[in-house]
Structure 1
């Protein structure tokens, strides 16, 4: 380990060695703890020296013969460095203030959003909330799943066939609207809804087929829900009748619904 190698620490730190000498010193530095420690102590000095440009160095060389000029130059350089550090501090403080302000705004926004109840997609804070839909008294009636069914409700069960039904009879200007649901109706079979008028006239206003599992049965708990209309006024109706029709077209009553 030569004396020259140890003296290269400052030159290496300032970056004045050529490429070959730099490689040689780095090989030496890898095995010399003394040079490594000395190089570490020079890092802050090198950082300060990096602030001095070539023009400043030239000015310093020119002041070596004039002590007064040298003092003025050093004072000017110190003042310049203090101002530079002060500007850096101000810039850092401003960045902190701006970041803090943005963070505060973001936090306030997040707080406001978290305090606003989620009213669902497409609804604002002032969006009206629809009231819950009213339903008929029969949980399996035609009004289930929508608004309250209009018309007079008639619940009936045939004592002979066991078929049960819920009917809503709504009188209109054009006649009568009939919304109904049927249960305990086994299948398979063909059925019709017939209007029997007080003048003994009849009218078939709906027809349907019942599958093997039926409706409102153990095989198929779901009830049948249908709607129909007739030109007969409700005051002219004696009763409604659900009938089954065999292969020969003969009708047999399954359920009779009296007009209210």
Structure 2
């Protein structure tokens, strides 16, 4: 695969449609191409929205189905409701953080509006990698924000969710620049709700465990 072709594979890699062999070769390319590493990170919100669409669309819906005349009204109503709920959650979260802190190392719970956002952070003494995960419960599962500091690059890493039932799900993948310990932020989503998640693991592309964040 020539260099220019690798650049064009950014979108396919971020959306998870490359086959295993091409994905492996592209991960090698990511370790030496800051441009592609940045592009993969920027695709995070798009990938998340596509995953949410896939999970919320019944399998029997034909891909060429036309929207009904009341679809726009329903969408606008839902957006308005989410904005109002988001503002309520923000105000309650501020009040909660001022009023109390939840006991336990690295664990903070922001509660409000009948929903909660859970934030966990940890540092691995062996690898030196620090990570923080914020998980917010949604109807379709969880919305996640990951922050990582890792000065041992270049390498490609991924966030893996381990469910309480032992299942594993890769949420997002990114490339760590060479000897750069600045904080990286990624977005992702999971079909599991926060209370169905046992732990979060940051792993390198070759399977090395870099840091574990336990949710319970």
The TM-score normalised by the length of structure 2 is: 0.45
The TM-score normalised by the length of structure 1 is: 0.37
Asked which structure has the greater CA Rg, the reply is 1
Task: Answer 1 or 2: higher relative contact order, Cα 8 Å, separation at least 6.
Answer: 2
More strand by share: 2
